[in-house]
Structure 1
């Protein structure tokens, strides 16, 4: 058990205290930058609202998700969606890039994408070796390099440029995955547990129905399983219950509205399915520690000031060297 009573540690970035990410948080660093500090091993943990995509260019290692292991060798592409409990053991000397995106930033990118294959490219955890001769692999390396370059700069339109390069990364990743799925025995589900596959079906359903405040039993029925089975799968993969995942999605949408619109509290609450504005305020405060008004005031006060660790693309942006700092 952790000090706060949770069985699964939660971190900002690995080894840094847990915090709630800004809506447009982006961070990229090399694998050695963080792994040298932790003897190349990452104990099982999760991040609230942050997903990882890794491009491994040298070395290899093992990804563990939901008691399932993937062994990978460079070149390799790895995806770990938000909330999924995961751990790594890298071979010493492994190199590559680790891209971390908030659900808010990634959601904004995906909102502009209409192809289901691209939207699903990083929806499930995986570690996939790439064919060194694959024609799309250089494009993937260029996309990661371009994201890193924009991340460390303060050029005009940086957020838009990173979003464009993330889109290109998703396109290339989807093409590589599709090509290798056809060639590989076992197909796209190879190595993924039933729990992980069930969670992958749940996520788009939550996106579609979270405003309707469905009970867990209704989500389970739509997926053809019992509520107990669904809750068990969610807890094993993410450390959270089904209801907690739904509430996290409601909070993400609430924060988007508070940050990017001028809607009043009652309007935001009604749009999220709350008939009573006071109940919406209590719901928000219980999960964020601040009222919706206080959250909006804090965001407006921070606009143009120093960013949180790792780098929100709101306001003044990132530290010049792009480094993250623990809270």
Structure 2
């Protein structure tokens, strides 16, 4: 069994491994083929509790899914998989590339001083003309990782820092292309989202979220409608619904267990909530998927 209770989404150290971290480093580097060929080129949905992964597809085709968002890759691309994100991959047999796994303490250390945290959110970057540069950088990381030498840790951290700066620049460019820098309203919405992630199972009323954010309930509602197109209650319900769908699709938990894990006092209340939100009962949703 992976390091999670039976019936939940698998939580692995590395995919398929349930033991301790296989290296004294806070880094693990391997080719995509090295692990995926053991699983018929398919890595089924799972997550990692305490590490971030960078998956670099150099050649071949891949379907890369993170939290339900699917990227079909047919050109060199770099995928960021944050900690605890449910993800799964399918690769063509001719795939070439690398998987770089970074433990969270190292990530936090390396992100210090960067203009943003490039590994905090899932992202997929087409490499384009930068492919020779990324090829050389990952080759250097793999070479340094595979041989003990003086200054190895410092060299690895320096190379990975270069990679994080590259990702950070891509993320900043995407933000600037899509929208102006975050205004105060967007900052409040981000804080609300983080707070919601911590407490959605507790079914806090909107007023409690607003109080913790230093806002009125009306102001929080207005921000959500303006920036997310949903009321604050709808944002909360969507987060609960996402977790319910995950558990119904990826686990063997009973409907009662799913309801209990999400803080519903009665399974019937959960079933009504789910059907009202999706149009189908939880069991019917599970069978369709």
Normalising by the smaller structure, the TM-score range is 0.5 to 0.7
Q: Report whether the alignment pairs 1:174 with 2:168.
A: yes
Q: Report whether the alignment pairs 1:128 with 2:125.
A: yes
SS of residue matched to 1:139: helix
Corresponding residue of 1:320: none
Cα distance change, pair 32–124 in 1 and its aligned pair in 2 (3 A): same
Corresponding residue of 1:48: 49
For the aligned residues, what is the CA RMSD?
3.9
Corresponding residue of 1:67: 68
Paired residues of 2:114 and 2:165 also in contact (CA < 8 A): no
Gaps of 5+ in 1: 189-196, 207-214, 240-327
Cα distance change, pair 159–38 in 1 and its aligned pair in 2 (3 A): same
Cα distance change, pair 198–86 in 1 and its aligned pair in 2 (3 A): farther
Q: Tell me the TM-score normalized by structure 2.
A: 0.61
SS of residue matched to 1:169: helix
Q: How far apart, in 2, do the equivalents of 1:187 and 1:237 lie?
A: 31
Deviation at 1:199, TM superposition (A): 9.7
Gaps of 5+ in 2: 181-188, 221-231, 248-289
Deviation at 1:228, TM superposition (A): 4.9
User: What pairs up with 1:31-110 in 2 under 5 angstroms?
Assistant: 31-110=32-111
Q: Report whether the alignment pairs 1:154 with 2:148.
A: yes
Cα distance change, pair 11–90 in 1 and its aligned pair in 2 (3 A): same
Paired residues of 1:140 and 1:173 also in contact (CA < 8 A): no
After superposition, the C-alpha distances for 1:214-242 in whole angstroms (9 at most, x for unaligned) are x9956685395469548627846997xxx
Q: How far apart, in 2, do the equivalents of 1:18 and 1:187 lie?
A: 44
Q: How far apart, in 2, do the equivalents of 1:54 and 1:142 lie?
A: 15
Q: Work out which of the two has the higher radius of gyration on C-alpha atoms and give 1 or 2.
A: 2
Q: How far apart, in 2, do the equivalents of 1:109 and 1:237 lie?
A: 34
Q: Tell me the TM-score normalized by structure 1.
A: 0.55
Q: How far apart, in 1, do the equivalents of 2:192 and 2:153 lie?
A: 28
Paired residues of 2:192 and 2:209 also in contact (CA < 8 A): no
Paired residues of 2:75 and 2:126 also in contact (CA < 8 A): yes
Q: How far apart, in 2, do the equivalents of 1:110 and 1:238 lie?
A: 30
Q: How far apart, in 2, do the equivalents of 1:37 and 1:176 lie?
A: 33
> How many residues were matched structurally?
214
SS of residue matched to 2:94: coil
User: What pairs up with 1:181-192 in 2 under 5 angstroms?
Assistant: none
Q: How far apart, in 2, do the equivalents of 1:82 and 1:237 lie?
A: 19
Q: How far apart, in 1, do the equivalents of 2:46 and 2:140 lie?
A: 29
